Amino acid sequence: MTKTDSKALVSVEASDGQDLYSGLIRIHILYHACEEGPIFGLGMINELARHGYRLSTGTLYPLLHGLEKKGLLRSQKVRAGRWIRREYHATPAGRRAFRSAKQRVSELFGEIFESK
């Protein structure tokens, strides 16, 4: 059983918790941009699908553009074989934002899963 099979897929567009999930997705995007280097749209769609999020390009690209507009990501066009794709890199502000989010998620995780 794959990781995706073991949990329900979340369709972000149709979800009642869209705002909650979009925050998690933004953190996930920053994680990959900070820790693994440049990211690109289709690669992130596939990566997020591995974790149970089903995003369309019409959902992901506005998220990427929003992160870029806020100064957390920077993009550039790169040739990939016959195609040109846009790669996104974390900016220094994006790295700071990710470190802060990572600390807050860790604190929240501790609260949610602490044994009583």
> For residues 48 and 60, what is the distance between their CA atoms, to the nearest angstrom?
10
Evaluate whether the domain defined by 10-113 bears CATH number 1.25.10.10: no
80 beta partners = 83
Q: Any idea where the domains of the chain sit in the sequence?
A: 10-113
Question: What's the length of the chain?
Answer: 116
Q: What is the mean pLDDT of residues 12-35?
A: 81
pTM here is 0.80
- Written as six digits, the tokens of 94 are 């994006």
Confidence band for 80, pLDDT divided at 50, 70 and 90: confident
Q: How confident is the model over 1-22, as a mean pLDDT?
A: 54
Radius of gyration of the chain (CA): 15
